[in-house]
């Protein structure tokens, strides 16, 4: 860009605003999916605990430490 003003469409015909809108839409979709996955995971942790599985086994299944899973789900 040699000192000229850029248009909304950009100099090379690409529309960076359209790309930004697409990224924002993807982030919103992923955030919604994350909420659903968090709920499902919490329900499965409760189910595992009710079935007698220990925090270490649940943590191993989730790929986190026992302390992390207990902190997140231990007092619900």
Angstrom distance (rounded) from CA 28 to CA 47: 29
List the chain pLDDT tens, one digit each, 76 residues.
455 555 555 555 589 999 999 999 999 999 999 999 999 999 999 999 999 999 999 999 999 999 999 999 997 6
Q: What pLDDT, on a 0 to 100 scale, did the predictor assign at position 75?
A: 79
Q: Are the C-beta atoms of 48 and 58 separated by less than 8 Å?
A: yes
Domain ranges within the chain, ordered by starting residue? 16-73
Q: What pLDDT, on a 0 to 100 scale, did the predictor assign at position 11?
A: 54
Category of 63 on φ-ψ map: left (φ > 0), alpha (ψ -120 to 50) or beta:
left
pTM for the model: 0.69
**How far apart, in Å, do the first and last CA atoms of the chain sit?**
56
Q: What pLDDT, on a 0 to 100 scale, did the predictor assign at position 14?
A: 84
């Amino acid at each position: 860009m040699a000192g000229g003003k850029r248009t909304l469409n950009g100099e090379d015909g690409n529309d960076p605003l359209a790309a930004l809108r697409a990224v924002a839409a993807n982030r919103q979709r992923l955030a919604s999916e994350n909420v659903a996955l968090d709920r499902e995971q919490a329900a499965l942790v409760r189910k595992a605990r009710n079935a007698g599985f220990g925090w270490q086994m649940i943590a191993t299944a989730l790929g986190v430490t026992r302390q992390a899973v207990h902190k997140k789900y231990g007092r619900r």
